[in-house]
């Protein structure tokens, strides 16, 4: 292989020999597996404290998914995190090729770690991984069908606020924003009528619709799309190329405050680029690749428009277990669009929409299950990467789902 | 007068001789003015710490509205907080009579404190006060028309998540819940169709509609209506009569955790019933009336169905300034219903729906102004008593509005 995949493997704190093994693919594309490890579902997280130039401290995550599962966090596609290629051809990838590489990676990893071959295997991820995870899962499934050795013990896949059908996702932002109180009733009704409910494929000569969409754009501009109730902070990182336009116009860029989640993202840069940390993570020394939480200069082509056909294959034809969760305050991939693509596939419902509880006081969200072993659930109050915003709810969810308990 | 109104007056920390004077009426009916003072807009709040039997401590509220206004917090109607009557006739009240009493109170208070007669006067409140505040304001306005001395310097009124038109408010809960991700798309569409969009006046023989409403009731049961993202905690107070059904079935009732806002409510009971505090507040000693944050055994009749006609009179005919704010995560009086009654009055819009900012990172909510000097605004992420959930946003809002600045 011309590319070298880096990954972070964390054993289950419960029973690593029996607990499921999850191959976790981060979104972006270009976000490192360390981002999921440190901010979402891993056992360690950065301690939020003023950065003073020394190594940022870590603390335990009480809601780590590694309390119930072994997890391999993969830096994928190539160029992400510490993954690299030494050839220019190897550094180029597409959704299709990176899915193939991730599948090869887990086969190879399991061949090297045969003690995990009998553990139930799941593929998981969120955001942009909505396009890759189902393809990787299908490749694994195909490998099993073809009898490729070692035989993988694939049980299913799980996805959070997953990019699936770009049209539905774009089109659901306006009804989502209306439901969340961001648009006025009058403007929403007007846009619905003038644009005929299609806010994506708009005829430019339809002035009434384009005017409404312009007004809507103004209303949603400045919101934090990842969680509409959180502040939108300047993405201040030490990497000048990562400073986006909105930070450039406020010069010099400010360090985000502790109320900003990207304060932690900034700390992760210092942490992961510390030589001691890199040595401990066994990162190669030469050539030194700077770690970025999310890289936006990958040599990458997104060549898959929709992953719905993979869901149909995996869920309806092969009946693999699947969990689709949606942080319900995310405007990047609103829960409405995940509901919509599932509805479009006409799966039969086995257990109707109902609330599920985290504890006596707290509703975790709403869930519905289908006869093809798919579970859809919302995470009440969750954002784009739901475990980052509602760790207890998401841990409860994954723990129950992995152990075949109803949410 | 047969009834004795208690109140809490806090001078402005800015310029008490010039700053506006707000007469604040709490909701309920039956919630003490101290509740607004300690949990919403007053200068002091209870320090949340484990109750050990001693007097709960207070701390400063950095977002107190008294930084820009003088506020009289009134215990109204009679029986609320420390207000009392020594006769059985005096202890009976209605929305109409209590509004009359509140108007008499502020006239008398200003006659006794003539140094505040020239300050701009506003009447404010939230929740159930949506029925009384406009009536009190109209009585004051009528008094000015009739030349009743002393002449009050009434400038307007302000209301948060205000009960206004019970039908609209009941009927908006279902679209609100759908927009917030609580109901499935299918159930909402079905109910809309089967119930014809009217979820209040339902024909009991319409089985499809009543079935849908039953399913909806199940989905919303267990939510915290005051803020749909917060936990719903047992209302544990030391008063057995305040323990509601859901706490009775879990016996003994638990003390709420710090994550529950009613932990603070519990502390307020111990604080306000402490003899030292009562002496400092100049509460009469005999007969000793136990203070409750919200009393639910008032001898009270709600005799006003809707306050929209008062709004029409005050805003459109008299053109008093008015501010209607809605915490947008409240399901008791959803922002949709406040929008709906304002829309039903066909006021002309002077400044279209737009976001307003608290600071560079934070959108406070969305606002719209009308030519009759009414401002509607949402408080993004706010609950039923919005300043309790989003203090900085609400302080910014009231500061700007009182000083005639646009939100």
Q: Is the peptide bond before B150 cis (omega within 30 degrees of 0)?
A: yes
Residue A67, class by beta-carbon neighbours within 10 Å (0-12 exposed, 13-18 middle, 19+ buried)? middle
CA dist B392 to B13, B68, B331, Å?
A: 17, 14, 21
The predicted pLDDT at position A86 comes to 84
Whether A242 has a pLDDT exceeding 80, the answer reads no
Average pLDDT, chain A: 92
Interface test with A, best of B181, B355, B360 (most A CBs within 10 A): B181
Picking from B353, B380, B381, the nearest residue to A184 by CB comes out as B353
The predicted pLDDT at position B397 comes to 98
Segment among A87-91, A93-97, B340-344 with least mean pLDDT:
A87-91
**B335: chain A residues, CB-CB within 8 Å:** 181
pLDDT tens readout for residues B369-404: 999 999 999 999 999 999 999 999 999 999 999 999
**Crossing angle of the two packed helices A129-145 and A95-112, in degrees rounded to 10:** 50
Residues 6+ apart with CB under 8 A from A222: A232, B355, B357, B363
Picking from A222, A259, A378, the nearest residue to B355 by CB comes out as A222
Collapsing DSSP to helix, strand or coil, B320 comes out as coil
The predicted pLDDT at position B254 comes to 54
The predicted pLDDT at position B235 comes to 59
Min distance B356 CA to chain A CA atoms (Å)? 10
The predicted pLDDT at position A361 comes to 86
Numbered residues of chain A with Cβ closer than 8 Å to any chain B Cβ: 178-187, 215, 218-219, 222-223, 228-229, 231-234, 250, 259-260, 328, 335-336, 339-340, 343, 352-355, 357, 360-363, 365-366, 368, 378, 380-381
Tokens of B15: 């310029």
**Rounded-to-integer distance, Cα B179 and Cα A174, Å:** 11
Helix (H) / strand (E) containing A111: helix A95-112
Size of the A and B interface in Cβ pairs below 8 Å = 96
Whether A146 has a pLDDT exceeding 60, the answer reads yes
**Rounded-to-integer distance, Cα A140 and Cα A136, Å:** 6
pLDDT tens readout for residues A94-113: 999 999 999 999 999 999 99
**Mean pLDDT for the stretch of residues A3-29:** 95
Active site residues of B: 127, 330, 384
Q: Are A58 and A44 in contact (CB under 8 A)?
A: yes
Whether A233 has a pLDDT exceeding 90, the answer reads no
> Chain A residue with minimal CA distance to B230?
A362
**B366: chain A residues, CB-CB within 8 Å:** 181-182, 184, 219
Whether A247 has a pLDDT exceeding 80, the answer reads no
Whether B26 has a pLDDT exceeding 50, the answer reads yes
**Mean pLDDT for the stretch of residues A331-337:** 98
CA dist A195 to A159, A209, A210, Å?
A: 31, 5, 8
B234 pLDDT band, cuts 50/70/90, is: low
The predicted pLDDT at position A2 comes to 56
**Radius of gyration for chain B, computed over Cα atoms and rounded to the nearest angstrom:** 21
Q: B366 and A181 in contact by Cβ < 8 A?
A: yes
**Mean pLDDT for the stretch of residues A82-103:** 91
pLDDT tens readout for residues B14-23: 999 999 999 9
Min distance A363 CA to chain B CA atoms (Å)? 7
> Chain A residue with minimal CA distance to B368?
A184
Count other C-beta atoms under 10 Å from residue A47's C-beta.
Answer: 11
DSSP 8-state code for residue B89: T
**Mean pLDDT for the stretch of residues A331-358:** 96
The predicted pLDDT at position A91 comes to 86
Interface test with B, best of A177, A181, A340 (most B CBs within 10 A): A181
Whether A1 has a pLDDT exceeding 60, the answer reads no
Min distance B352 CA to chain A CA atoms (Å)? 9
Q: A180 and B180 in contact by Cβ < 8 A?
A: yes
Count other C-beta atoms under 10 Å from residue A240's C-beta.
Answer: 8
Domains of chain B: 3-166+302-402 (3.40.50.1820)
Q: B186 and A343 in contact by Cβ < 8 A?
A: yes
Dihedral over Cα of B166, B170, B172, B177: its sign: positive
Whether A24 has a pLDDT exceeding 70, the answer reads yes
B87 pLDDT band, cuts 50/70/90, is: confident
Q: Are A331 and A221 in contact (CB under 8 A)?
A: no
Q: B363 and A183 in contact by Cβ < 8 A?
A: no
Picking from B215, B228, B361, the nearest residue to A233 by CB comes out as B361
The predicted pLDDT at position B252 comes to 42
Dihedral over Cα of A195, A201, A206, A210: its sign: positive
B351 pLDDT band, cuts 50/70/90, is: very high
The predicted pLDDT at position A333 comes to 98
Min distance A42 CA to chain B CA atoms (Å)? 24
**B246: chain A residues, CB-CB within 8 Å:** none
**A311 noted as active-site residue:** no
The predicted pLDDT at position B297 comes to 81
The predicted pLDDT at position A245 comes to 42
Strands A154-160, B362-370: parallel, antiparallel or unpaired by DSSP? Answer: unpaired
Whether B195 has a pLDDT exceeding 90, the answer reads yes
**Mean pLDDT for the stretch of residues A113-139:** 98
Give the angle subtended at the CA of A358 by the CAs of A357 and A360, to the nearest 5°.
Answer: 75
A240 pLDDT band, cuts 50/70/90, is: very low
Phi, psi of A208 (to 5 degrees): -60, -45
Catalytic residue among A5, A64, A93, A127: A127
Numbered residues of chain B with Cβ closer than 8 Å to any chain A Cβ: 178-187, 215, 218-219, 222-223, 228-229, 231-234, 250, 259-260, 328, 335-336, 339-340, 343, 352-355, 357, 360-363, 365-366, 368, 378, 380-381
**Mean pLDDT for the stretch of residues A125-150:** 96
Bridge partner residues of A306 (DSSP): A165
The predicted pLDDT at position B376 comes to 98
Q: A368 and B184 in contact by Cβ < 8 A?
A: yes
The predicted pLDDT at position A248 comes to 40
DSSP A343-392: HHTTPPEEEEEEEEEEETTEEEEEEEEETTSEEEEEETT--SSHHHH-HH
**Mean pLDDT for the stretch of residues B172-183:** 98
**Rounded-to-integer distance, Cα B273 and Cα B292, Å:** 9
Whether A118 has a pLDDT exceeding 70, the answer reads yes
pLDDT tens readout for residues A267-313: 999 999 999 999 999 999 988 999 999 988 889 999 999 999 999 99
B120 pLDDT band, cuts 50/70/90, is: very high
pLDDT tens readout for residues A350-371: 999 999 999 988 999 999 999 9
> HEC profile for B210-257?
HHHHHHHHHHHCCCCCCCCCCCCCCCCCCCHHHCCHHHHCCCCCCCCC
**Radius of gyration for chain A, computed over Cα atoms and rounded to the nearest angstrom:** 21
**Mean pLDDT for the stretch of residues B335-361:** 95
Whether B236 has a pLDDT exceeding 50, the answer reads no
Residues of chain B above pLDDT 70, percent: 94
**Mean pLDDT for the stretch of residues A200-219:** 96
- Could you tell me what percentage of chain B is helix, strand and coil, using 3-state DSSP and rounding each to the nearest 5? 35, 20, 45
Strands A121-126, A21-25: parallel, antiparallel or unpaired by DSSP? Answer: parallel
Q: Which of A228-237, A242-251, A338-347, B242-251 has the highest mean pLDDT?
A: A338-347
Count other C-beta atoms under 10 Å from residue B285's C-beta.
Answer: 8
The predicted pLDDT at position A243 comes to 47
> Chain A residue with minimal CA distance to B354?
A219
Min distance B58 CA to chain A CA atoms (Å)? 25
């Amino acid at each position: 292989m011309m590319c070298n995949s880096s990954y972070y493997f964390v054993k289950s704190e419960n029973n690593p020999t029996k607990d499921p093994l999850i191959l976790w693919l981060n979104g972006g594309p270009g976000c490192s597996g360390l981002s999921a490890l440190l901010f979402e579902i891993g056992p360690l997280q950065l301690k939020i404290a003023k950065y003073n130039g020394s190594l940022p401290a870590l603390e335990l995550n009480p809601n780590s998914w590694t309390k119930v599962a072994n997890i391999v966090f993969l830096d994928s596609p190539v160029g992400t995190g510490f993954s690299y290629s030494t050839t220019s051809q190897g550094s180029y990838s597409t959704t299709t090729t990176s899915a193939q590489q991730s599948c090869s990676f887990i086969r190879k990893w399991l061949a090297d770690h045969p003690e995990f071959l009998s553990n139930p295997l799941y593929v998981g991820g969120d955001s942009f991984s909505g396009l890759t995870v189902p393809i990787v899962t299908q490749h694994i499934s195909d490998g099993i069908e073809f009898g490729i050795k070692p035989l993988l013990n694939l049980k299913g896949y799980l996805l959070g606020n997953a990019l699936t059908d770009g049209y539905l996702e774009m089109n659901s932002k306006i009804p989502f924003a209306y439901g969340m109180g961001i648009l006025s009733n009058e403007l929403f009704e007007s846009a619905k009528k003038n644009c005929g409910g299609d806010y994506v494929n708009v005829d430019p000569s339809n002035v009434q619709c384009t005017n409404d969409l312009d007004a809507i754009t103004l209303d949603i501009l400045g919101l934090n799309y990842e969680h509409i109730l959180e502040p939108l902070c300047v993405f201040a990182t030490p990497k000048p190329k990562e400073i986006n336009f909105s930070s450039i116009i406020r010069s010099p860029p400010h360090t985000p405050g502790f109320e900003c989640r990207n304060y932690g993202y900034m700390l992760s840069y210092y942490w992961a680029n510390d030589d001691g940390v890199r040595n401990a993570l066994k990162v190669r020394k030469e050539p030194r690749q700077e770690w970025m939480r999310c890289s936006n200069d990958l040599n990458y082509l997104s060549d898959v428009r929709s992953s719905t056909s993979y869901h149909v294959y995996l869920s309806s034809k092969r009946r693999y277990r699947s969990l689709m969760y949606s942080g319900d305050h995310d405007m990047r991939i609103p829960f409405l669009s995940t509901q919509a693509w599932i509805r479009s596939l006409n799966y039969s419902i086995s257990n109707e929409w109902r609330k599920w509880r985290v504890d006596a006081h707290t509703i975790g969200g709403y869930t519905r299950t289908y006869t093809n072993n798919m579970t859809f659930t919302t995470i009440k109050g969750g954002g784009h990467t739901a475990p980052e915003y509602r760790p207890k709810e998401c841990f409860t969810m994954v723990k129950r789902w992995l152990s075949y308990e109803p949410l």
